[in-house]
Structure 1
Amino acid sequence: MCGIVGILGTSEVADRLFEGLKRLEYRGYDSAGIATLHDGVLDRRRAEGKLVNLGKRLAEEPLPGTIGIAHTRWATHGAPTEDNAHPHIVGDVTIVHNGIIENFKPLRDELIADGRVFNSQTDTEVVAHLVDRELQRGKSPQDAVASVLPRLHGAFAIAFLFASEPDLLIAARLGAPLTVGYGDGENYLGSDAHALAGLTQKIAYLDEGDWAVLTRQSIQVFDRENRPVTREVVPSGVSPAMIDKGNHRHFMQKEIYEQPVVVAQTLQSYLRPVEEMVALPDMDFDLAGVERVAIVACGTASYVGMIGKYWIEQFARVPVEVDVASEFRYRDPVLLPNTLGVVVSQSGETADTLAALRHMKEHGVTTAGIINVPTSSMAREVDLLLSTHAGPEIGVASTKAFTCQLAVMAALAVNLARAKGKLGGDEETEIVRHLVEAPASINAALAHDAEIEAMAHTIAQARDVLYLGRGPDYPLALEGALKLKEISYIHAEGYASGEMKHGPIALIDDNVPLIVLAPSGPLFDKTVSNMQEAQARGARVVLISDAEGLKLAGEDAVATIEMPKVHPLISPIVYAVPVQLLAYHVAVAKGTDVDQPRNLAKSVTVE
């Protein structure tokens, strides 16, 4: 959720720490801060709000020092104020933290009883006091941290800086990602590879429960049992150019336009065009034995799961359940033998989804993960990694990750259907041909950007917006509504079109736009019938369909968006584009912060 950067440098670090935070601001932007050590003195600069405010503070009051840690915050414990901003300094200890310390209250009470005084409302300050108390009792920084970590319950990534140690950083992770980087006479740490993109290409990912001792010349990693371990040093694969907006106004716009390329890259990993078949990575289990599929995800990724349910049940004839990850464990689900558990996550670190994955594994469920970050916790823990190849996604509202996840979900559905004997060679050939067409069809959808921008001003005036769709377009209606809510702050809801007359139609008047997803095909007539029921009651309809559908039903719409004619299989992948562009242009018209919408962060690493 929050972003962490640390540098043990040979030159001044404040500017480089600030640049690292800029690459991590998508993880949180309620407040930010930097602390350095210079001539034995810990100093810091903090600011409430977005990172630009910290930049102004640093320009007015520069921070000297060749060692430091930095943080951009998404508030959990304590309001997003400067007092609650990280880093926190307690005695000789400075700390930054991503995550939640679940048992902070009894720890805080213990420390208050011991005479400790707190200056913030955060759970993070508790950790700083615990370590400082151990230092006051005569322990070394390394021993102090080692004694405190087992007392912390929850999820965290933490970095420590010590006033008495100009060549030492200590970092630890449990349930939240953390990466160390190797340089020439310098070493680094960060929440992910993005943070270190401008510093080094040599990184190692800490495993669950690891903690690390960094100096300028070495990095020593310990596991949760305090045993020295080696973690593989790998190329980061992330460059500053990959996380730059280029000539686009926003990251979201850039990422929408990257979809033809990244969907093609993703499909290349799963399709064999010559043989016209779908191939998955090697696996240690037989898909033919799968009798049930459980898909677990959060937010946009959960709508990928809902569309996947349609595909898997249609092609493979295997029953599928889709759960919101935050509810999955708590309803005590029945996990039967021969179930395939599928998790979907862009970051691979989403706390609720990761917990659901571990719950399934504890109950003997074979797992697969549709994940964009192959070095993430989920990617390392699933039995079968199904990588998307979307590249870094910086915009908080997911776009290209969504369509790449759909591409992989389609490949999984087809492969499962073949393994179950439900799909013949000719049928698979036809499906592969349609999937191969998807990138070009996405590109054709993008060609209608200007007309979507032109009609977005109409939607921007609305207080409420409804989205309708049938079949796989129903989850896409949910996704369209979510996108609009996320970045424009307009209240929006998605409904299965047949459900309109079961209550939601009461909301219809001429102030409530109705966005209808209705590609021509077997469900078109039913969707249009429901649309016309709403139009008869004054609804202002925006119809998204192909030329055939618009000709048949677009006459009374206040606006239409034409899509290319596509096979129903790839329709959700292609029709994702207009709902993304509509949300984007409405947000721009309203003047909201598209890439960093209020109260949100990209990677949700706390429950």
Structure 2
Amino acid sequence: MCGIVGVIGKKNATEILIQGLEKLEYRGYDSAGIYVTSNQQQNYLIKSQGRIADLQSKIGKDVEGSIGIGHTRWATHGEPSERNAHPHTSGNDRFVLVHNGVIENFEEIKQEYLQNKQLLGETDTEIVVYLIEYFAEQGLETKEAFKKALSIIEGSYAFALIDSENPEVIYVAKNKSPLLIGLGKDFNVICSDAMAMLQETNRFLEIVDGEMVIVKADEIKIEDEKGNAVYRESYEAQLDLNDIEKGTYPYYMLKEINDQPTVMRRIVKEYTKQNGSVVIEPEIVEKIKASDRVYIIACGTSYNAGWVGKALIEKMAQIPVEVHLSSEFGYNMPLLSKNPFFIFLSQSGETADSRQVLVQTNRLGYPSLTLTNVAGSTLSREADYTLLLLAGPEIAVASTKAYTAQIAVLAIVAKAIGDASGNEQSEKFDIAHELSVIASIMETIIDEKATIDQLVTEYLSDTRNAFYIGRGVDYYVSMEASLKLKEISYIQAEGFAAGELKHGTIALIEKGTPVFGVITDKKTAAHTRGNLKEVESRGAHNFVISLASLSKESDQLVLPDVHSLLTPLVSVVPTQLIAYFATLQRGYDVDKPRNLAKSVTVE
């Protein structure tokens, strides 16, 4: 959600900014812009609605300089337009600002300080840059004007500010929104995601909420809110440029679906020994084992993975589990058990809704574990413990491999606790073997792409809506499957518990309505087939995904059998491909669905 890049000390600032913005396209955006300047006071501000390619087409060969900032915007205040795109300038064009986040008191700031100012757009960011100008006009130096503005602002932000009268400094600050400083030789860079600047450096400095950073070509100064100097070691980003390229795949989503077998094998290698035992920090296991209830906090796809995690932990560890949407939990916290343990699921580790819950649970002194794909991310740093998903960079907005990685790592956590508790079912469960089997079966399913493509043509080519139904873990997979379909193909898809159809939802079934039934649980298979008959009799066009041992000749997709605890890892794969092909057939951008962002960094 929005992206920031900046560079100081390189002659080709324009090229670096554009390359960086291209690497951030996956985050979701509706407009983009750059500001480039140099010591010769040649200033260039170029903005465009639409894609980075639209911005590039407006940049002339004369646009160059040694310092610049760039931005991809996902609209929060004001419609997507060129005038609302970043960077924003102050009224006298002296100050230039890019911003990720949401300023909560922007209207109060406008009323108190800027009543006589004529703003060009409708964004909260423009109000901030005018506020900085206001304090500069009161006689404050740029750094102090920026600091004064920060003391007034309420909300989330990552800022990069340039004073065109002193184009040798970029002023940086953050609160709740991610931002990094990249370290180079005689140059430095700024980015909201390390991937944006990997072509320039692999060494980065984290910034903590409330800090201000003065970035020069040959110097970095970090100050806390009181102005005290802060010293922090840099770290090396464990990313490979090859990992963030599509390679021979037409879309990142297809690449990431294909990555899943490799991710399963990587998780097995990292978290299990050759004898099949699980390798997890003993303190994590003991803390969860000692709790009386586990609370899984997540959003979107991670929330759906959390429901599968609930089933795994309760069956193997015998500990009650609650799954909560972080956007709801943070402001409507339920009555908690006496000894809770919190697990946060987040692909990016920067999810703002989840982070505000973690801030509260930290304040209450409750132990926490983050499962994330990004080492050093905010949720990872601020939780007590972290387990990495090891999925590699996920670029497509629609999550695939991070979802299955979360389930696999949750299964490992559940087994570790179950083994430590002496649970017989857990001790008999050879998770290393079972995940290895699943990796091979995933490959088999993915090889059926052509068949799935044909089925999608038959079932989804002209439909407006669709339903996924299942029971137990099949219901949880149905929720994720419907989310995949709706978010990229724009088919109005919903996942329902099959047994609930008669309690209202069946009224929506019309002639030709596609209904996808997921059947992987022996206990409920017959019930779900009964529900499929009920919708079929009302005109539904049924599509059954089943395990081989539970299949019937008429089923459209039959999957190889796997261990009953891990069926979601295979049943979800065809639903990912269904969403992919439905989107392709409708001519939409698979990787960048409208209105959505990959990393949701505002509440």
Shorter-normalised TM range: over 0.9
Q: 2:95 aligns with which of 93, 96, 100?
A: 93
Change (3 A) 1:379 1:17: same
User: After superposition, where does 1:1-400 map in structure 2 within 5 Å?
Assistant: 1-38=1-38, 39-59=40-60, 62-90=62-90, 91=92, 92-113=94-115, 115-274=116-275, 276-283=276-283, 286-400=287-401
Identify the residue that residue 578 of structure 2 maps to in structure 1: 582
The Cα of 1:426 is off from its aligned counterpart by: 4.2
Point out the more displaced range, 233-242 or 320-329.
Answer: 233-242
Q: Output one character per residue of 1:305-338: Cα deviation in whole Å (capped at 9) or x when no partner.
A: 1111111122222111111111002223222332
CA–CA distance in 2 between the matches of 1:460 and 1:108? 50
**One-letter amino acid matched to 1:124:** T
CA–CA distance in 2 between the matches of 1:180 and 1:269? 30
8 Å Cα contact 1:448/1:562 also seen in 2: no
**One-letter amino acid matched to 2:114:** I
The Cα of 1:503 is off from its aligned counterpart by: 1.6
**One-letter amino acid matched to 2:111:** D
8 Å Cα contact 2:347/2:402 also seen in 1: yes
Give ranges in structure 1 of 5+ residues lacking alignment.
none
8 Å Cα contact 2:304/2:480 also seen in 1: yes
**One-letter amino acid matched to 1:345:** S
CA–CA distance in 1 between the matches of 2:241 and 2:425? 46
The Cα of 1:289 is off from its aligned counterpart by: 1.0
Number of residue pairs aligned between Structure 1 and Structure 2 = 598
The Cα of 1:431 is off from its aligned counterpart by: 4.0
Change (3 A) 1:282 1:160: farther
Structure 2 length-normalised TM:
0.96
CA–CA distance in 2 between the matches of 1:388 and 1:364? 25
Q: Output one character per residue of 1:370-407: Cα deviation in whole Å (capped at 9) or x when no partner.
A: 11111111000111211111111110010111010111
CA–CA distance in 1 between the matches of 2:72 and 2:534? 49
Change (3 A) 1:212 1:423: farther
Instruction: Find the residue that maps to 1:413 and give its secondary structure.
Output: helix
The Cα of 1:272 is off from its aligned counterpart by: 2.0
CA–CA distance in 1 between the matches of 2:95 and 2:338? 50
8 Å Cα contact 1:335/1:365 also seen in 2: no
Identify the residue that residue 537 of structure 1 maps to in structure 2: 538
User: After superposition, where does 1:547-586 map in structure 2 within 5 Å?
Assistant: 547-550=548-551, 552=552, 554-555=553-554, 560-586=556-582
Point out the more displaced range, 15-24 or 360-369.
Answer: 360-369
The Cα of 1:356 is off from its aligned counterpart by: 1.1
Instruction: Find the residue that maps to 1:11 and give its secondary structure.
Output: coil
Instruction: Find the residue that maps to 1:277 and give its secondary structure.
Output: coil
**One-letter amino acid matched to 1:569:** L
8 Å Cα contact 1:316/1:423 also seen in 2: no
Instruction: Find the residue that maps to 2:542 and give its secondary structure.
Output: strand
Q: CA RMSD in A?
A: 1.6
8 Å Cα contact 1:287/1:419 also seen in 2: no
The Cα of 1:208 is off from its aligned counterpart by: 2.1
The Cα of 1:36 is off from its aligned counterpart by: 1.0
CA–CA distance in 2 between the matches of 1:206 and 1:30? 27
The Cα of 1:255 is off from its aligned counterpart by: 0.6
Point out the more displaced range, 515-524 or 470-479.
Answer: 515-524
Instruction: Find the residue that maps to 1:603 and give its secondary structure.
Output: coil
Query: What is the percent sequence identity of the aligned residues?
Result: 37
CA–CA distance in 1 between the matches of 2:114 and 2:209? 31
CA–CA distance in 1 between the matches of 2:425 and 2:315? 14
CA–CA distance in 2 between the matches of 1:32 and 1:448? 39
CA–CA distance in 2 between the matches of 1:590 and 1:424? 46
CA–CA distance in 2 between the matches of 1:333 and 1:360? 12
The Cα of 1:269 is off from its aligned counterpart by: 2.2
The Cα of 1:185 is off from its aligned counterpart by: 1.1
CA–CA distance in 2 between the matches of 1:131 and 1:44? 19
Identify the residue that residue 442 of structure 2 maps to in structure 1: 442
8 Å Cα contact 2:419/2:427 also seen in 1: no
CA–CA distance in 1 between the matches of 2:225 and 2:577? 46
**One-letter amino acid matched to 2:535:** A
CA–CA distance in 1 between the matches of 2:418 and 2:426? 11
**One-letter amino acid matched to 1:5:** V
**One-letter amino acid matched to 1:261:** T
User: After superposition, where does 1:449-460 map in structure 2 within 5 Å?
Assistant: 449-458=449-458, 459-460=460-461
Instruction: Find the residue that maps to 2:330 and give its secondary structure.
Output: helix
